[in-house]
């Protein structure tokens, strides 16, 4: 397929316990753009990122990263998970967490060396946390923790970044730092797909949007796609019909089997 | 007894020495694996696995007793134990997969059923003609005294292999335990890593059976890493301390058990570990209770002192001296030769403030106020004047200015930037201003450019002002 398309998803369907989360999703991202992934709670935004990374089994569909199956092009994909997914009381420092982004490059059983630590320190400096490198992660504020996660993805020097709600619950300083970082990534020709909750800021932050509610409602340049009509279709009531039907289907299946 | 004590202390008995060394290595291995196990939150699974080893041990014994006439060979029994633990783990996974039971229920079922099965088999084994099955019960409670030299060497060698495995996979296990989703996203085989970790856990559990016994072996995987967390925030040190605690408990317990044959080694080992845990809980340098209590007390004293200084300052400012034209900008520094501000005729706090007014200024207990005053006097911050009054010294004045300034900057910040009703500000400011570091204060100053010089006026009505103005 087209090796210039950072992320090409076709006919993706994902179901948890027979309940569909994503239904026949088709997405093609343009290169070098900041893309907002927007939709109501439970619309499958995180699941979409996770299926690209191969973290959830998919019922059908194909996911290509720069023309190759996503699971074979992992090195090109940087991932920033939601902050709440890990235990921040874990006995590691900010630097240790960032170095984790280089573990694949270091390889099995080989210890981390100075070169990698320097690289990680540089990434921490980019997100403005160099002086916190040796702090235990529980001693960082929520926004700083989020920036540590960003640095871990940055250090990998990927071409496609997937970020799961990086703006959730962060302070103003971190929000500014993340935005500056996104612009920097775009300037360097990287593609960034960001799960975003705050509809107000979408037009200012993103060049391109994907409106998602179990299926793709609309996608394209923000000024064309981010319209009231499309938002109403994304957040509006019509889609409950679809999920009701799916739930009824799942119930019937469960009764039979 | 005295003779055996010297023999133990100097480990002059070769056999004892090897047994102690073997158990010590087991403890170190258990401490290392246990750290990852705890961070992966699988401690309860290990308890189920340990109990699930019993049917395997007894079956292996019966099988080889029937074949050879004597089945009590440790390696064979341990292989049986490991196989049985694997079946137990499989049972947990299957129960979880095919029922809607929670994890703890699945673990409880496997633990009790396998142990029950093992006990039933043990009853049968003791009735076999060929058997010397009585010794099998030492796998339940642990008994180093019955350990043969060869067994101890075997345990030590396997424990060393486990230690090596942990060191080789340090990076991989860290990632697995911290963020398994990210590990999977990076392409690490998370399932394989989990299996490797559980393999090391089963290995260390099985070699611990003859020393600690299957009921208590989980303690050696859980207690040392728990103790280590009180001392450090770094994983590498957690591992080292955990291994040391495990080794110390293993070595001491095995030694004590060798000294007095009827002391159950498992119990001693676990009790030594528990004692080390208790010590860490109290005196740990990162999270120990003593350290935390000290810090809390220090903070409380600091807050009390700052409250006192601010109360005195604000009484001087708002009360009788509110009209003094030079009040807020009274120079910060005095020549060091001026011992007390009271000696300076221009100082607004000449007459001081009555203690009764101080008592009314805040909701503090008279005893609390006296204690704070005593401490502040001792630190040379306030001076007691005749007539039950007190005033600030030079140092006290400078310190009070700083405290009041921080307090009001923070208040202003809350009002201008966080949309908090001014009436609610004072209490919030109280809590946070005491821990403001210089960095934070610089940030506040930058946010409130109009306030960088001098002390801003209070944002709310001062308690003592009403009477004077």
pLDDT digits (tens, 9 = 90+) for B138-179: 888 877 766 778 888 899 999 999 999 999 999 999 999 999
Domains of chain B by residue range:
2-287, 298-468
CATH number at residue A185: 3.40.50.300
The pLDDT assigned to A244 comes to: 57
CB contacts, 8 Å: B98 with chain A:
none
| Cα B269-B273-B277 angle, rounded to 5 deg | 170
Higher per-residue pLDDT: B277 or A176: B277
The pLDDT assigned to B134 comes to: 64
| Confidence band of A208 (pLDDT split at 50, 70, 90) | very high
- Chain A residue with minimal CA distance to B234? A91
pLDDT tens for each residue of B193-240 = 999 999 999 999 999 888 888 888 999 999 999 999 999 999 999 999
Closest listed residue to residue A168, CA positions, set A192, A143, A187:
A143
| Containing structural domain, residue A183 | 7-86+159-256
CB contacts, 8 Å: A106 with chain B:
171
Phi–psi pair at A153, nearest 5 degrees: -75, -35
With a cut of 60, say whether residue A130 has pLDDT above it: yes
| Confidence band of B131 (pLDDT split at 50, 70, 90) | low
Tell me the mean pLDDT in the region A57-85: 91
With a cut of 50, say whether residue B354 has pLDDT above it: yes
| Confidence band of B451 (pLDDT split at 50, 70, 90) | low
- Chain B residue with minimal CA distance to A102? B186
Q: Is residue A244 part of a domain?
A: yes
Tell me the mean pLDDT in the region A59-85: 92
Q: Is residue A178 part of a domain?
A: yes
- Per the prediction, chain A carries an average pLDDT of 88
| Best mean pLDDT range from A223-237, B147-161, B383-397 | B147-161
CA distances (Å), B229 to each of A85, B170, B236, B242, B248, in order?
22, 17, 11, 8, 17
Dihedral of the alpha carbons of B452, B456, B459, B463, in degrees to the nearest 10: 150
Q: Is residue A105 part of a domain?
A: no
CA distances (Å), A150 to each of A34, A81, A146, B282, B331, in order?
15, 9, 6, 37, 48
The pLDDT assigned to B25 comes to: 93
Among A193-202, B1-10, B113-122, name the one with the lowest average pLDDT.
B1-10
Q: Residues of chain B with pLDDT > 90: what percent?
A: 35
Contact (CB<8Å) A97/B178: yes
Asked casually if ipTM beats, i.e. exceeds, 0.85, the reply is yes
Give the count of alpha carbons within 13 A of A90, CB side only. Answer: 23
Q: How close is the nearest chain A Cα to the Cα of B304, in Å?
A: 25
- Helix or strand (DSSP H, E) at A68: strand A68-69
Q: Say yes or no: domain B2-287 is CATH 1.10.3470.10.
A: yes
What are A128-132's contacts with CB under 8 Å, separation 24+? A128/A177, A129/A94, A132/A94
Among A39-43, B49-53, B384-388, name the one with the lowest average pLDDT.
B384-388
Q: Is residue A248 part of a domain?
A: yes
Beta bridge pairs of residue A34: A192
pLDDT tens for each residue of B283-301 = 999 999 999 999 889 888 8
Q: Is residue A195 part of a domain?
A: yes
Please answer whether residues A48 and A22 qualify as being in contact, where contact means their C-beta atoms are separated by less than 8 angstroms: yes
| Best mean pLDDT range from A20-24, A235-239, B13-17 | A20-24
CB contacts, 8 Å: B238 with chain A:
91
State whether residue B72 is helix, strand or coil.
Answer: coil
Contact (CB<8Å) A100/B182: yes
| Confidence band of B32 (pLDDT split at 50, 70, 90) | very high
- Chain A residue with minimal CA distance to B179? A86
- Chain A residue with minimal CA distance to B177? A90
* CB-based contact, A176 to chain B, within 8 Å: no
Q: Is residue A108 part of a domain?
A: no
With a cut of 70, say whether residue B327 has pLDDT above it: no
* CB-based contact, A242 to chain B, within 8 Å: no
The pLDDT assigned to B425 comes to: 57
pLDDT tens for each residue of B63-119 = 888 777 655 678 888 899 999 999 998 898 888 888 888 888 989 999 999 999 999
Q: Using CB atoms, pick whichever of B168, B178, B182 lies closest to residue A90.
A: B178
The alpha carbon dihedral of B31, B34, B35, B36 has a sign of positive
| Best mean pLDDT range from A192-206, B10-24, B443-457 | A192-206
The pLDDT assigned to B469 comes to: 31
| Confidence band of B316 (pLDDT split at 50, 70, 90) | confident
Higher per-residue pLDDT: B67 or A190: A190
Q: Report the alpha-carbon distance of residue B110 to residue B121 in Å, rounded.
A: 16
Q: How close is the nearest chain A Cα to the Cα of B168, in Å?
A: 5
pLDDT tens for each residue of B240-278 = 999 999 999 998 888 887 777 677 788 889 999 999 999
Q: How close is the nearest chain A Cα to the Cα of B413, in Å?
A: 15
Contact (CB<8Å) A136/B233: yes
With a cut of 70, say whether residue B449 has pLDDT above it: no
Among B122-126, B254-258, B387-391, B431-435, name the one with the lowest average pLDDT.
B431-435
Q: Is residue A153 part of a domain?
A: no
Substitution target in A17, A85, A91 with the highest count of B β-carbons within 10 Å is A91
Contact (CB<8Å) B179/A81: yes
Q: Report the alpha-carbon distance of residue B287 to residue B455 in Å, rounded.
A: 38
* CB-based contact, A113 to chain B, within 8 Å: no
Contact (CB<8Å) A86/B169: no
Which 26-85 residues of chain A touch chain B by CB within 8 A?
Answer: 50, 53-55, 71, 74, 77, 79, 81, 85
The pLDDT assigned to B101 comes to: 84
The pLDDT assigned to A93 comes to: 95
Structural tokens at position A12: 């993706």
With a cut of 70, say whether residue B433 has pLDDT above it: no
| Confidence band of B349 (pLDDT split at 50, 70, 90) | low
Topology at the third CATH level for domain B298-468: Arc Repressor Mutant, subunit A (1.10.10)
Classify residue A136 by its DSSP letter: B
Please answer whether residues A55 and A251 qualify as being in contact, where contact means their C-beta atoms are separated by less than 8 angstroms: no
With a cut of 90, say whether residue B435 has pLDDT above it: no
State whether residue A223 is helix, strand or coil.
Answer: helix
| Best mean pLDDT range from A14-23, A61-70, A224-233, B122-131 | A61-70
Q: How many domains does chain A have?
A: 1
With a cut of 80, say whether residue B324 has pLDDT above it: no
Number of CB pairs < 8 Å for A and B?
73
């Amino acid at each position: 397929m087209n090796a210039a398309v950072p992320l090409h998803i076709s006919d993706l369907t994902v179901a948890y316990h027979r309940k569909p989360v994503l239904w026949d999703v088709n997405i093609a991202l343009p290169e070098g753009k900041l893309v907002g992934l927007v939709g109501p709670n439970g619309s499958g935004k995180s699941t979409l990122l996770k299926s690209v990374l191969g973290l959830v089994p998919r019922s059908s569909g194909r996911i290509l990263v720069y023309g190759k199956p996503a699971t074979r092009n992992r090195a090109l994909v940087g991932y920033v998970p939601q902050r709440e997914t890990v235990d921040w009381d874990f006995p590691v420092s900010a630097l240790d967490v960032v170095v984790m982004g280089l573990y694949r490059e270091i390889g099995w059983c080989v210890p981390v060396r100075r070169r990698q630590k320097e690289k990680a320190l540089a990434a921490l400096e980019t997100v403005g946390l160099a002086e916190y490198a040796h702090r235990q992660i529980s001693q960082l504020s929520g926004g700083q923790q989020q920036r540590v996660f960003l640095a871990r993805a940055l250090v990998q020097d990927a071409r496609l970044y997937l970020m799961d709600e990086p703006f959730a619950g962060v302070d103003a300083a971190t929000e500014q730092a993340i935005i500056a970082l996104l612009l920097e990534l775009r300037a360097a020709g990287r593609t960034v797909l960001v799960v975003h909750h705050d509809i107000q800021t979408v037009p200012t932050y993103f060049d391109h949007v994907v409106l998602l509610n179990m299926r793709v409602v609309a996608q394209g340049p923000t000024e064309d796609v981010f319209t009231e009509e499309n938002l109403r279709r994304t957040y509006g009531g019509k889609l409950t019909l679809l999920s009701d039907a799916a739930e009824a289907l799942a119930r019937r299946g469960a009764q039979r089997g | 007894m005295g003779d055996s004590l010297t023999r133990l202390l100097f480990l002059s008995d070769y056999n004892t020495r090897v047994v102690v060394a073997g158990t010590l290595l087991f403890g170190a291995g258990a401490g290392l694996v246990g750290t990852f196990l705890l961070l992966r939150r699988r401690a309860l699974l290990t308890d189920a696995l340990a109990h699930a080893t019993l049917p395997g041990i007894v079956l292996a014994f019966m099988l080889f007793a029937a074949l050879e006439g004597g089945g009590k060979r440790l390696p064979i029994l341990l292989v049986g134990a490991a196989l049985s633990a694997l079946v137990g783990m499989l049972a947990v996974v299957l129960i979880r997969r095919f029922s809607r039971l929670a994890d703890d229920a699945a673990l409880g079922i496997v633990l009790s059923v396998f142990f029950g099965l093992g006990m039933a088999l043990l009853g049968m084994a003791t009735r076999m003609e060929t058997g010397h099955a009585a010794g099998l019960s030492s796998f339940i409670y642990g008994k180093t005294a019955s350990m043969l030299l060869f067994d101890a060497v075997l345990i030590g060698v396997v424990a060393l292999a486990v230690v090596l495995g942990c060191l080789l996979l340090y990076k991989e296990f860290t990632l697995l335990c911290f963020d398994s989703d990210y590990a999977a996203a990076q392409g690490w085989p998370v399932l394989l890593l989990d299996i490797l970790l559980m393999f090391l856990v089963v290995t260390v559990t099985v070699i611990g059976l003859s020393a600690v016994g299957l009921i208590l072996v989980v303690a050696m995987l859980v207690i040392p890493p728990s103790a280590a967390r009180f001392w450090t925030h770094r994983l590498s040190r957690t591992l080292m301390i955990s291994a040391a605690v495990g080794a110390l408990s293993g070595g001491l317990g095995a030694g004590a058990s060798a000294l007095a044959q009827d002391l159950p080694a498992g119990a001693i080992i676990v009790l030594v570990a528990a004692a080390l845990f208790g010590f860490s809980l109290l005196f740990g340098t990162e999270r120990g209770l003593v350290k935390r209590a000290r810090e809390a007390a220090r903070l409380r004293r600091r807050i009390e002192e700052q409250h006192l200084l601010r109360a005195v300052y604000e009484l001087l400012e708002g009360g009788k001296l509110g009209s003094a034209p030079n009040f807020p900008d009274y120079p910060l520094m005095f020549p060091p030769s001026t011992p007390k501000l009271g000696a300076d005729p221009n100082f607004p706090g000449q007459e001081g403030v009555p203690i009764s007014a101080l008592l009314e200024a805040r909701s503090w207990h008279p005893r609390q106020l006296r204690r704070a005053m005593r401490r502040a006097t001792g630190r040379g911050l306030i001076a007691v004047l005749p007539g039950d009054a007190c005033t600030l010294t030079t140092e006290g004045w400078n310190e009070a200015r700083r405290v009041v300034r921080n307090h009001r900057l923070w208040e202003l910040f809350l009002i201008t930037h966080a949309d908090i009703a001014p009436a609610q500000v004072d209490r919030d400011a109280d809590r946070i201003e005491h821990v403001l570091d210089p960095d934070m204060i610089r940030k506040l100053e930058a946010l409130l450019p109009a306030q960088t010089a001098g002390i801003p006026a209070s944002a709310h009505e001062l308690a003592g002002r009403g009477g004077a103005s």
